[in-house]
């Protein structure tokens, strides 16, 4: 990371009723970068954001903007002087102010200057023609864009966004996400965006901080989080998973799909081999035989189709495996709906299997 981080939080802790809901969280965001705080509901994301915004006090830890302390347990810059823009889930606009006045709300300067900045931002989000209208005349998506313009108008150094798209229609969401990201990048804001949706985080983030139980369990570019997950839950947070179990001998474990490396795992310990349904490939049974083993795809194992469902752009096929009667899932592009009872051979892409100590 070149230069000082724009936002840095160190060892933040917040307890409610003696329980740490934010438990030693540290994060930094470079200027102009978007970090997504991603995790299941209740893991402490909003509490983290509220402490950075200054509307919630931490029990310990510090918050810095451009290297300057803005908050510890004794010293505290008030929220309105932190140069932090906020956009929360319910981004209520002021109903009695016009759209233009809403956007100009946090600005200082003459009336003409405020209106000019307000107009520039409204033009940027394609809503300049609504400048003298009132919020109730706008659709949900339009109100969302006005709220974004309002938050960005004072040129905050940091933007905090808490599930900002969750109230929007599914059809609108992708477009608004992309527009929002373009505008945030153009304004050069550093963004901490909270979401519980992995697709949203992958679409928006330069970096994802994966949170669970009040802690950040992994940080990295979306590609790395997806392809080098820290543990089984990290795999499962992004997709359905398949699971094999094995015992380790000599840093190897044998499975019906061949041998897997289990580096650093002691003899006799159990491991889990985790892989996603989209990395399972399937072949028809030819007289009791499957495809030949390869380095990339390992050894195939046989199962019978239990059920197959069409999911739109892909099909999901569930198999009952011959070797242990366990169910494994495969997703296949397009329409592929084999009849229940059909024997087939499954192979798993070796480089997409993750081996973890059994939990």
Ligand X SMILES: Nc1ncnc2c1ncn2[C@@H]1O[C@H](COP(=O)(O)OP(=O)(O)O)[C@@H](O)[C@H]1O
Binding footprint of Mg ion on the chain (CB under 5 A):
46
Cβ closest to ligand X, residue 14 vs residue 302:
14
Shortest distance (Å) from residue 240 CB to ligand X = 22
Minimum distance between the CB of residue 143 and ligand X, rounded to whole angstroms?
22
What CA–CA distance (Å, rounded) separates 208 from 216?
10
Which token pair is 229?
A: 């997950």
Residue 310, SS3 per DSSP: strand
The minimum distance between CB 253 and Mg ion, in angstroms, equals 39
Smallest gap from Cβ 46 to Mg ion, in A, equals: 3
Q: Which residues pair with 248 in a beta bridge?
A: 253
Residue 37 CB, nearest approach to ligand X (Å) = 8
Look at residue 42 and give the partner it binds from ligand X, Mg ion, none, a contact being a CB closer than 5 to 8 Å depending on partner kind: ligand X
Between 39 and 298, name the residue whose CB sits nearer to ligand X. 39
Least Cα distance to 242 among 250, 232, 234 occurs for 232
Cβ proximity to Mg ion, 38 vs 321, nearer residue: 38
| 16, interface contact from Mg ion, ligand X, none, CB < 5-8 Å by kind | ligand X
Q: Residue 47: which of ligand X, Mg ion, none does it interact with, CB under 5 to 8 A by kind?
A: ligand X
Residue nearest to Mg ion (CB): 46
Nearer to Mg ion, 53 or 348 (CB): 53
Return the number of the residue (42 or 188) whose C-beta is nearest ligand X.
Answer: 42
- Please tell me the number of Cα atoms within 13 Å of 308 on its side-chain side: 19
**What's the min distance (Å) between Cβ of 57 and ligand X?**
11
Contacts of 16-23 spanning 24+ positions with Cβ under 8 A: 20/214, 21/47, 21/214, 22/47, 22/48, 22/51, 22/58, 22/214, 23/213, 23/214, 23/215
Q: Compute the CA torsion angle 24, 201, 7, 27 (nearest 10 deg).
A: 20
Q: Which two tokens stand for residue 59?
A: 């029990």
The pair of structure tokens assigned to 358 is 């059994």
**Complex with ligand X: residue 45 or 64, whichever CB lies closer:** 45
Positions touching ligand X (CB under 6 A) are 16, 21, 39, 41-47
**Contact assessment for residue 77 and residue 30, using Cβ atoms and an 8 Å cutoff:** no
């Amino acid at each position: 990371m070149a230069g000082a981080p724009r936002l840095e939080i160190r060892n933040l802790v917040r307890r409610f009723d003696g329980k740490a809901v934010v438990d030693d969280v540290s994060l930094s965001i470079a200027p102009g970068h978007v970090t997504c705080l991603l995790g299941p509901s209740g893991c402490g994301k909003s509490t983290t954001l509220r402490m950075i915004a200054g509307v919630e006090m931490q029990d310990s830890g510090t918050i810095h903007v451009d290297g300057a302390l803005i908050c510890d347990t004794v010293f505290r810059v008030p929220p309105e002087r932190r140069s932090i823009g906020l956009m929360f889930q319910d981004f209520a606009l002021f109903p009695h102010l016009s759209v233009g006045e809403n956007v100009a709300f946090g600005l200082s300067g003459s009336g003409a200057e405020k209106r000019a900045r307000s107009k520039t931002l409204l033009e940027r989000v394609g809503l300049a023609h609504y400048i003298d209208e009132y919020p109730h005349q706008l659709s949900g998506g339009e109100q969302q864009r006005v709220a974004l313009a309002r938050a960005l108008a004072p040129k905050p150094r940091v933007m905090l966004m808490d599930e900002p798209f969750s109230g929007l229609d599914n059809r609108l969401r992708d477009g608004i996400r992309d527009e929002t990201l373009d505008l945030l990048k153009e304004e050069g804001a550093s963004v901490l965006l909270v979401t519980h949706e992995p697709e949203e985080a992958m679409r928006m983030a330069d970096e994802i901080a994966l949170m669970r139980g009040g802690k950040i369990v992994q940080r990295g570019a979306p590609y790395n989080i997806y392809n080098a997950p820290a543990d089984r839950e990290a795999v499962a947070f992004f997709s359905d998973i398949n699971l094999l179990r094995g015992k380790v001998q000599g840093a190897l474990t044998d499975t019906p799909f061949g041998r897997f490396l289990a580096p650093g795992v002691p003899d006799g310990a159990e491991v889990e081999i985790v892989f996603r349904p989209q990395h399972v490939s399937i072949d028809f049974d030819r007289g009791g035989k499957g495809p030949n083993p390869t380095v990339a795809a390992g050894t195939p194992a046989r199962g019978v189709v239990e059920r197959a469902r069409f999911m739109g752009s892909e099909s999901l096929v569930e198999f009952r495996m011959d070797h242990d009667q366990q169910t494994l899932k495969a997703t296949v592009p397009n329409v592929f709906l084999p009849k229940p009872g059909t024997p087939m051979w499954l192979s798993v892409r070796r480089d997409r299997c993750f081996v973890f100590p059994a939990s």
